[in-house]
Structure formats: structure tokens, C-alpha cells
């Protein structure tokens, strides 16, 4: 067992407002400069929809991630032969407006107009695409470009009574088996040993853009001004100081949780090459991600030089609890085989709107069954568990059970307490789990949402600081 520690994030999609505050704050801090106008290291997509860049999930078109060749992992793109990064049409042509016209125009009968102009060459342009082009437009034809929709049922999703929508915030997944890194012939992309953050060394990059094509999430961008590739850096200068990334700090819905995950580096390639994608997903959680309370894991982590405060952080990590302990958070498209380390708690649908129809006016049944939810479980499974609906159903059951349990504490209703106990039992949760989940999901404080130890480099020459942290054997 080769234990490594990684800073990881989980997002609770139930609470995402689609406000894009995360997007704007990230933009202002990192990509507010020439050459990076069209880059959205953080973006929030309205789903179903084509996403950004357009149809990034369609690997027949975009050629990202890994495939199996005779049981062995192989990049889907063939370096130097098969070079297809997305074009400007897949992203969009960035634009601004001629604002100065509003101030400098001579007086006329007409109100002056600030026309859109290209941010690349300054010419007037018609705006016809953007990073959020289908924002909040569930029910339009654009959503049919979403590959997660069941092809046989596509037509029903455009009928008003059946449409559904949700938000999907995305950043680089800082994968354990990053195809961007493997595709770089210059070895300019590297995964940091101490915290797993994947970075592009700007001094080595020559702008070949194989990484752009190879990333199945399309989270590497080419800077047309510098001629080099860039990507989300998980705000590593902030992480090193124990601070959350800007997107997480400023998240209005408080949906983002940041913490340490311990993983077994020896298992990464074997699990990434698991032939059955749904088994891959389960093995990722069961075998690659480690239990930070396991004495063998603790001792192997110490032997690998992981400081004790990182191990205790892994034990307190909200991401560990959501992904490994309760198994309610999943990675995006595990079938791309990069083992992504950003996780998502799938959303419940709006609950109260369906209860009358499903249950009459029985207030005790205010929470619908998983099968009654508006967002199809199959759709969520296609996005988060390589199609394994049972995993998603189990996670949603747990989330509903916690709500029923919390409600039973506050509402006097005959039989409600028994119902809550039954819901918890069916979801495989104890009352203590439910209390803990409620605190983390609903009313978590800053220090519960962000458990980030400072950079271990600080401890490199101070072995006396690596031992004796309270609570560890």
C-alpha cells in the first residue's frame, strides 16, 4: 500500500443556486487577462444541456480520457496523429461591448448603443454562443445535445410537464490518473506529491494542446496570447496556507466542502483499467480511497511521510465522510477512467411539488419515494456512477431519510417517529449518522466545511512536529 494524500472537494448539488458567484470570483482572481477571456476554470452548467465547451462529454467528438486496449489503458487520442482540441465554435468567441460609445457619442435623436465587439480582434460581432448559452432554459431543443438523456425518452424531456433541470458546477477534477498529464510530450503537467493538485509548468509548456484534447472534462485551456496551456490550480497558494479555494469560499449556497482524502497509489492503475465501468466506480471508492481510521492505513501513511496533522485532517474531512463513509457523493463520469477527485452529492428534486400528486394530502408522506423524483435516477447515474442506478438510489434514500428523521424531531404527528426509524433503517443509517449528516449538509460551520491542513513542506525538516497529534495511536 502506497498512501498518498490529496486535497479534494465535494459539492452538494441539492443546494446549488446556479448563481455563478463561484465562476465570477474564480475569473476575477485567475483568468481576468488577455488570452484567457474565454477560459472558465470554474463554470456552472444548466443540465440537461450541451455543457461548456459544447458537448464536452461526447468523447466520439472530443477524444478525451482513456480506453482499454487489450485490457491495458490507452489514451483515446493518438499523440501527434489524432489532434482534435475543441475550436472556438465549441467554446465561444469572447466579447465585450463598446461602452465608451455611451459616453463619447455626440448628441443625436437616437440613444447611443454599445455594440458587442470581439475581445480577440475588436471587430463588431453577433453574439450567438456563450459559456452559459442555455442557462436556465430547460425544455428547449438544446438539452437534447445532452448525452446523459436516455435516447429512447428524449422527446418526453421537452414536454413542459416532464422537464427537469439542475445545476452542475465544474472545475478541474485533479484526477488520480490524469489523461492531460499522460498526453503531454514535454512533461509540463505534473501532479503534486504533497496534495495531489495537477498543474501545468508554464516554463515547460510549448502549447501543443494534446492535454486540451486528452482531458475528457475539457478543463485545460489554451491561452492564445501566451501560446501555453492553463488550467484550474485549485487555488494552491490559498490551500498551502490552509484556506479554501476562492470558488468554495465564496459559494453562496455553501454547497462546497474541501478536505483531505487518503488513497492507495498502488491501486490507481489497476482500478482505472477495470473493464466494467460500474465495477470501476465501486472499486474506486472501496479500494483506492482509504479509511483514515484504519491503523494499517495510518501506519502506512506515516511511513510515506504524511504528517500527522494531515492524517487527522483526513479523519475530519467532510469529503471523506460524504464519499467513503456515507457514500452519498460520486465523481463525474468515472467511466472516463481518470479517477476524478472532485465529487458530487446528487440532487433530490423539488419535493413538495410532487407530494400531492403522489400521496394525496397526507402530510406525513411529504417526502416522495426515490422513484417518484422528478430528476430521473438514470440521468444522475449516467453522470455520476457510470450508469449504476443502485448507487444513486441508495444515496438519495439516505438524503431523504435524514430529512424524514429531522422532521420527526420537530413535527408532532402520530407514527412519524416510527416512520423516521424505518426510513433510517432502510437507508442503512444510524440516528448518529443522521445527526452528523444533518449538521454537515444543512448547518455546517466554516471549519466543518473546510478542513485544510497547511502545506506539509513546512514540516519537512521538523520530524518532531510529525508525531504525537492527539487522537492518533
Contacts of 361 (CB under 8 A, 6+ apart): none
Q: Could you tell me if 287 and 271 are in contact, meaning their C-beta atoms sit under 8 angstroms apart?
A: yes
- What does the block give as the cell for 193? 506529491
State which residue, 175 or 370, has the beta carbon closest to ligand SF4: 175
Residue 199 as a binder of ligand SF4 (CB under 6 A): the answer is no
Residue 329 as a binder of ligand SF4 (CB under 6 A): the answer is no
State which residue, 44 or 404, has the beta carbon closest to ligand SF4: 44
Q: How near is the Cβ of 432 to ligand SF4 at its closest, in Å?
A: 29
- Return the closest-CA partner of residue 10 out of 260, 262, 191: 260
Q: Could you tell me if 118 and 94 are in contact, meaning their C-beta atoms sit under 8 angstroms apart?
A: yes
Q: How near is the Cβ of 449 to ligand SF4 at its closest, in Å?
A: 12
Query: With contacts defined by CB under 6 A, how many residues of the chain interact with ligand SF4?
Result: 28
Pairing assessment for the beta strands 342-345 and 330-331 based on DSSP bridges: antiparallel
Residue 389 as a binder of ligand SF4 (CB under 6 A): the answer is no
Residue 18 as a binder of ligand SF4 (CB under 6 A): the answer is yes
Q: Which residues of 408-417 are buried (b: 16+ CB within 10 A; e: fewer)?
A: beeeeeeebe
Contacts of 185 (CB under 8 A, 6+ apart): 79, 80, 208, 210
Q: Give the binding range for ligand SF4 (CB under 6 A) out of 1-9, 215-223, 364-372, 464-472.
A: 215-223
Alpha-helical segments (H) within 323-458: 352-359, 377-384, 389-410, 416-427, 431-442, 446-449
State which residue, 20 or 315, has the beta carbon closest to ligand SF4: 20
User: How far is Cα 160 from Cα 145, in angstroms, rounded to an integer?
Assistant: 18
| Per-residue binding letters, 121-160, with ligand SF4 (x by CB under 6 A) | ----------------------------------------
Neighbours of 389 (CB within 10 A): 17
User: How far is Cα 377 from Cα 71, in angstroms, rounded to an integer?
Assistant: 30
Residue 255 as a binder of ligand SF4 (CB under 6 A): the answer is yes
Residue 252 as a binder of ligand SF4 (CB under 6 A): the answer is yes
Q: Give the binding range for ligand SF4 (CB under 6 A) out of 252-260, 302-310, 404-412, 435-443.
A: 252-260
Identify the residue among 219, 267, 321, 398 touching ligand SF4 (CB under 6 A).
219
Residue 21 as a binder of ligand SF4 (CB under 6 A): the answer is yes
| Per-residue binding letters, 42-81, with ligand SF4 (x by CB under 6 A) | --x-------------------------------------
Alpha-helical segments (H) within 389-430: 389-410, 416-427
Binding site for ligand SF4 (CB under 6 A): 16-22, 44, 167, 169, 172-175, 178-180, 198, 215, 217, 219-220, 231, 251-253, 255, 338
Amino acid at each position: 500500500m502506497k498512501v498518498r494524500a490529496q486535497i479534494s472537494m465535494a459539492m452538494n448539488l441539492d443546494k446549488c443556486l446556479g448563481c455563478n458567484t463561484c465562476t465570477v470570483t474564480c475569473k476575477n482572481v485567475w483568468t481576468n487577462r488577455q488570452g484567457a477571456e474565454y477560459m472558465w476554470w470554474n463554470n456552472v452548467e444548466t443540465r440537461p444541456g450541451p455543457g461548456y465547451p459544447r458537448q464536452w462529454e461526447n468523447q466520439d467528438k472530443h477524444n478525451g480520457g482513456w480506453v482499454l486496449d487489450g485490457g491495458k489503458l490507452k489514451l483515446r487520442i493518438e499523440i501527434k496523429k489524432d489532434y482534435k482540441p475543441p475550436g472556438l465554435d465549441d467554446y465561444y468567441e469572447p466579447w465585450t461591448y463598446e461602452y465608451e460609445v455611451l459616453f463619447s457619442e455626440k448628441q443625436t435623436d437616437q440613444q447611443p448603443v454599445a455594440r458587442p465587439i470581439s475581445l480577440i480582434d475588436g471587430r463588431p460581432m453577433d453574439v450567438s454562443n456563450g459559456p452559459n448559452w442555455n442557462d436556465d432554459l430547460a425544455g428547449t431543443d438544446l438539452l437534447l445535445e445532452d448525452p446523459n438523456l436516455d435516447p429512447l425518452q428524449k422527446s418526453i424531456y421537452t414536454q413542459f410537464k416532464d422537464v427537469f433541470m439542475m445545476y452542475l458546477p465544474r472545475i478541474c477534477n485533479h484526477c488520480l490518473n490524469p489523461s492531460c498529464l499522460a498526453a503531454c510530450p514535454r512533461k509540463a503537467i505534473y501532479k503534486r506529491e504533497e496534495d495531489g493538485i495537477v498543474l501545468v509548468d508554464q516554463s515547460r509548456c510549448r502549447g501543443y494542446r494534446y492535454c486540451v484534447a486528452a482531458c475528457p472534462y475539457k478543463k485545460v485551456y489554451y491561452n492564445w496570447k501566451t501560446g501555453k496551456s492553463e488550467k484550474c490550480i485549485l487555488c494552491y497558494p490559498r490551500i498551502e496556507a490552509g484556506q479554501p479555494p476562492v470558488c468554495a469560499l465564496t459559494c453562496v449556497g455553501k454547497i462546497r466542502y474541501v478536505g483531505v482524502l487518503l488513497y492507495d497509489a498502488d491501486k490507481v492503475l489497476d482500478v482505472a483499467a477495470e473493464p466494467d465501468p460500474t465495477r470501476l466506480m465501486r472499486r474506486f471508492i472501496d479500494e483506492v480511497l482509504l479509511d483514515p481510521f484504519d491503523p494499517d492505513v495510518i501506519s502506512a501513511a506515516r511511513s510515506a511521510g504524511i504528517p500527522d496533522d494531515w492524517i487527522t485532517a483526513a479523519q475530519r474531512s467532510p469529503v471523506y465522510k460524504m464519499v467513503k463513509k456515507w457514500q452519498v457523493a460520486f465523481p463525474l463520469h468515472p467511466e472516463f477512467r481518470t479517477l476524478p477527485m472532485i465529487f458530487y452529492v446528487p440532487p433530490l428534486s423539488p419535493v413538495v411539488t410532487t407530494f400531492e400528486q403522489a400521496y394525496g394530502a397526507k402530510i406525513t408522506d411529504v417526502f416522495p419515494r426515490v422513484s417518484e423524483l422528478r430528476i430521473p435516477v438514470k440521468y444522475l447515474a449516467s453522470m455520476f456512477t457510470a450508469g449504476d442506478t443502485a448507487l444513486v438510489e441508495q444515496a438519495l434514500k439516505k438524503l431523504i431519510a435524514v430529512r424524514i428523521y429531522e422532521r420527526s424531531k420537530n413535527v408532532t404527528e402520530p407514527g412519524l417517529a416510527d416512520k423516521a426509524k424505518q426510513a433510517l433503517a432502510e437507508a442503512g443509517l444510524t440516528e448518529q449518522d443522521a445527526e452528523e449528516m444533518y449538521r454537515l449538509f444543512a448547518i455546517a460551520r466554516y471549519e466543518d466545511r473546510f478542513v485544510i491542513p497547511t502545506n506539509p513542506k513546512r514540516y519537512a525538516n521538523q520530524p518532531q512536529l510529525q508525531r504525537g497529534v492527539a487522537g492518533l495511536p
